[in-house]
Amino acid sequence: MSKPKRVGSTLPKRDATVIFNRRAALLSFIGAGVLGAILFRMGQLQATNLISREYTAAADDNRFDTRIIAPPRGVIYDRFGVVLAQTSKDYQVAVVQEDVGGNLEDVVRRVGAILGLDAEWARRATIRVRGGSRYEPQPLKEGLTWDEFNAINVRLPELPGIVAMSADVRAYPFDVVYAHPIGYVQKPTQRDIERALQDPDQGEARAMYLRNPHVRVGKAGLEASMEQALHGEAGWRKIIVNARGVEQGEDESERREPVRGSGVVLTIDHELQRTAMQSFGDQAGSAVVMDIFTGDILVMASAPTFDPNLFVNGIASEPFRVLNEDEKKPLFNKAISGGYPPGSTFKLTVGIAAKQAGVEDDWHVNCPGYFPFGGRNFHCWKRGGHGSINMHRAIRESCDVYFYQAALRAGPERIAATARELGFGVAHDVSLPNVQRGLVPDPDWWFANRHERWTAGLTVNYGIGQGSLIVTPLQLATMAARIANNGRAVVPRLVREAPGVRDPAAPPVLPDLSSEHLAAIRLGMFGVANEGGGTATRAGNMIGLMRRPDGVIVEAAAAPPGSTPVQIAGKTGTAQSRIITAAERARGVMRDADLPWRLRDHALFVSFGPYDNPRYAAAVVMEHGGHINPQLDAAPISAMIMRQAFLRDPSNRQGARLAELEAGVRA
């Protein structure tokens, strides 16, 4: 019997679909698992990589350390390229705390003994060093002499952790001559660091930079006001350190060299500045000389002075106390910050205002030695009086009685307006900090600040430059320049070339200053120094120069035939620093020579020259000079400086160019 045949080899359609769906699901699960495993592994690797990079970065932070390189400051030059401030090598002794190995205070004390410093210095130095890095050299004593530096080097084997090294620091080659206009640099203070931390952008970075022991910042004068230009850009180096932070090497690829600060060329003439500073001797005062057309300040002298090099590495407390408590104020820039009553030098301003009010050249007043007004007598400096006197004689002989009455004719508002046109009551921008505005009072100011009405008696005092009027030597020189240049609003300047500094525009003519009025004032000033009865003929005679036919100014002894004399024009002034009572006047006013220094009168002199072709104006103030020593009075000192200015004639010589000077520094 035969087997039955199979109907077909395929399963029913429903069973095949079920089997396919099961296989697809299985494959999907397997694929999802594999994909999940891959994604998990990728995530694991990514996380591991991030952690690794964190550990690597942390390891690099431990392995590398960034050290700041302080940039050299820009060089400061006089108008002809003489270097007035530069970067120089400074010999130092420092300590690396990590290498001391024993008692830090004992090692520091031994260094002090070699240098002749006491135990108190060692104590302070130890405290200061402990506040710094353990692995970088921390300066113990800077500014070592060569002998001191050698003495340390010889003893280094017995001084663990001590290193003798040199660093770049600011140096002022002419020390006391430029202390006031240039100023000085100093180590940043804690206040500087706290101020930097308040900067939301780079506060911490800036603070870290300021903590560097080799960083110096400007603290006075141009060093402070032009800090940004002079300072330059810091560099850095990336060093390799071990686990204890000790330097093992350097990553040269990560080094950035610092960028030197920009140079600055001043308007000052070094030779004239030195002459001015020497002329004061041990007296207190100030001198300013300026070009009447450009405003270039050729001299800015303030005496007594100080050595700015003392501040670079930190001045000791005792020398600073002596400077700070000196009654002659050597730390004070009297040229721009010293405020004085102008005394009789202000009579030039009053004279212009009086002429504006209609006073003619032939208007005379009688001077019996006093002027009775408002129930009291206003005295003239000349007890017997000047008799009948006009404006020319009044300027020449400085008659107080004439200017009492001239002030009444002009009125306080007109006098104040004229004073401001001549440069008083203005804080002239000479790129220095702490420029004083002074004070030119008028009735409105008086009422607003004194809560009283202006009186005619105040106007009388105004006439001779006394009362509430306060001016600076810089403003006095500006007044003299504007009178000399026939009423052009020349503005003083101290910086000739620097980033952002432009050449000055031609000064505009002051519309309210009449050429005719100014000519009369200049003629009176000529009489002061060159005519009989003038109050400064001795200064005029000191010039002793002649102009050759070719225009060159030479000593009189060397002048050929046809030469003409060189003369100055000026105005003396005496400003009281105390009130003279009626009782003292009755028994006789005490001579300045019999008074303590601080109670003596100030002596002032303003001038311009040469008279026939003006180019320079000057102002000299002798604090409490009292006209005691004829050699050290304001007028002869001014004549001495002006004489040198005429001989050198710096405004007619080619000045140095900053680009060429900077190229020389880079080379």
Only one residue has tokens 């950035």, namely 256
Tokens of 560: 């050929």
Confidence class of residue 333 from pLDDT cuts 50, 70 and 90? very high
261 & 297 share domain: no
Average pLDDT over residues 436-444: 97
pLDDT digits (tens, 9 = 90+) for 369-419: 999 999 999 999 999 999 999 999 999 999 999 999 999 999 999 999 999
- Which has the closest alpha carbon to 176: 307, 304, 83? 307
Sequence-ordered alpha helix ranges (H) in 164-269:
179-182, 190-197, 203-210, 221-225, 227-231
| Lowest-confidence segment of 5-14, 282-291, 321-330, 470-479 by average pLDDT | 5-14
What's the pTM?
0.85
How distant, in Å, are the alpha carbons of 84, 222, 495, 626 from that of 264? 10, 10, 7, 38
Has residue 486 got a pLDDT over 90?
yes
Average pLDDT over residues 630-637: 84
Tokens of 561: 């035939």
- The confidence score (pLDDT) of residue 242 equals 60
Q: How far apart are CA 593 and CA 494, in angstroms?
A: 36
Q: How far apart are CA 162 and CA 112, in angstroms?
A: 12
- Which has the closest alpha carbon to 601: 570, 627, 619? 627
Query: Which DSSP category does 262 fall into?
Result: P
- Residue 33 belongs to some domain of the structure: no
pLDDT digits (tens, 9 = 90+) for 409-421: 999 999 999 999 9
Q: How far apart are CA 64 and CA 57, in angstroms?
A: 10
217 & 292 share domain: no
Q: How far apart are CA 303 and CA 180, in angstroms?
A: 9
Average pLDDT over residues 285-302: 98
Determine the 3-state secondary structure of 89 from DSSP: strand
Has residue 284 got a pLDDT over 80?
yes
pLDDT digits (tens, 9 = 90+) for 582-608: 555 555 556 666 677 678 888 999 999
Confidence class of residue 236 from pLDDT cuts 50, 70 and 90? confident
- Residue 395 belongs to some domain of the structure: yes
Q: How far apart are CA 247 and CA 645, in angstroms?
A: 57
| Lowest-confidence segment of 3-7, 457-461, 551-555, 621-625 by average pLDDT | 3-7
Has residue 265 got a pLDDT over 90?
yes
291 & 199 share domain: no
251 & 301 share domain: no
Q: How far apart are CA 209 and CA 231, in angstroms?
A: 13
% of the chain exceeding 90 in pLDDT: 63
Helix (H) or strand (E) holding 255: strand 247-256
Tokens of 398: 């400085």
Q: How far apart are CA 275 and CA 294, in angstroms?
A: 22
Residue 93 CA, distance from chain mean position: 31
Looking up residue 481, the CATH number of its domain turns out to be 3.40.710.10
Helix axes of 634-648 and 270-279: crossing angle, nearest 10 degrees: 160
Mean confidence (pLDDT) of the chain: 88
Determine the 3-state secondary structure of 581 from DSSP: coil
262 & 274 share domain: no
- The confidence score (pLDDT) of residue 288 equals 98
Last-in-domain residue among 266, 284, 318: 266
Contact 286, 338 (CB under 8 A): yes
- Residue 278 belongs to some domain of the structure: yes
- The confidence score (pLDDT) of residue 414 equals 97
189 & 281 share domain: no
Q: Which residues of 136-175 are buried (b: 16+ CB within 10 A; e: fewer)?
A: bbbbbbbebeeebbebbeeeeeebebbbbeebbbbbbebe
Q: 10 Å Cβ neighbour count for 559?
A: 19
- The confidence score (pLDDT) of residue 59 equals 46
Residue 664 CA, distance from chain mean position: 25
Last-in-domain residue among 266, 295, 314: 266
pLDDT digits (tens, 9 = 90+) for 334-374: 999 999 999 999 999 999 999 999 999 889 999 999 999 99
- Residue 665 belongs to some domain of the structure: no
Give me the residues paired with residue 296 across strands. Answer: 493
Has residue 56 got a pLDDT over 50?
no
**Residue 235 contacts by C-beta under 8 Å, 6 or more apart in sequence?**
68, 69, 71, 255, 256, 257, 258, 259
Classify the C-alpha dihedral 616-410-621-528 as positive or negative: positive
| Lowest-confidence segment of 292-301, 446-455, 499-508 by average pLDDT | 499-508
- Which has the closest alpha carbon to 618: 474, 493, 502? 474
Determine the 3-state secondary structure of 242 from DSSP: coil
Confidence class of residue 18 from pLDDT cuts 50, 70 and 90? low
pLDDT digits (tens, 9 = 90+) for 514-548: 999 999 999 999 999 999 999 999 999 999 999 99
Average pLDDT over residues 212-228: 92
Confidence class of residue 204 from pLDDT cuts 50, 70 and 90? confident
Query: Which DSSP category does 558 fall into?
Result: G
Number of domains in the chain: 2
284 & 232 share domain: no
- The confidence score (pLDDT) of residue 128 equals 86
- The confidence score (pLDDT) of residue 241 equals 62
- Residue 645 belongs to some domain of the structure: yes
- Residue 24 belongs to some domain of the structure: no
Contact 105, 142 (CB under 8 A): no
Q: Using only the alpha carbons of the chain, give its radius of gyration.
A: 38
- Residue 28 belongs to some domain of the structure: no
- The confidence score (pLDDT) of residue 378 equals 95
Only one residue has tokens 């020593």, namely 629
Q: How far apart are CA 433 and CA 263, in angstroms?
A: 19
Tokens of 415: 């006098």
- Residue 211 belongs to some domain of the structure: yes
Looking up residue 104, the CATH number of its domain turns out to be 3.90.1310.10
Confidence class of residue 254 from pLDDT cuts 50, 70 and 90? confident
Confidence class of residue 438 from pLDDT cuts 50, 70 and 90? very high
Give me the residues paired with residue 76 across strands. Answer: 85, 264
Has residue 13 got a pLDDT over 90?
no
Provide the CB-side half-sphere exposure for 49 (13 A, CA). 6
Tokens of 282: 């041990």
Last-in-domain residue among 266, 288, 317: 266
- Which has the closest alpha carbon to 307: 118, 481, 487, 170? 170
- The confidence score (pLDDT) of residue 210 equals 87
Q: How far apart are CA 28 and CA 22, in angstroms?
A: 10
578 & 516 share domain: yes
Which domain, by its residues, includes 292? 270-306+337-652
**Residue 589 contacts by C-beta under 8 Å, 6 or more apart in sequence?**
580
374 & 252 share domain: no
Concatenating the DSSP letter of every residue in 597-612 gives: GGGSPEEEEEEEE-TT
- Which has the closest alpha carbon to 438: 411, 465, 407? 465
539 & 566 share domain: yes
pLDDT digits (tens, 9 = 90+) for 126-182: 988 888 778 778 889 988 989 999 999 999 988 998 988 888 899 999 999 999 999
Residue type, position 450, single letter: R
Torsion of CA 6, 10, 15, 20, to 10 degrees: 160
Torsion of CA 385, 387, 391, 392, to 10 degrees: -90
Has residue 116 got a pLDDT over 70?
yes
Contact 112, 119 (CB under 8 A): yes
Has residue 264 got a pLDDT over 70?
yes
155 & 188 share domain: yes
221 & 297 share domain: no
Tokens of 112: 């002090």
% of the chain exceeding 70 in pLDDT: 86
Confidence class of residue 69 from pLDDT cuts 50, 70 and 90? confident
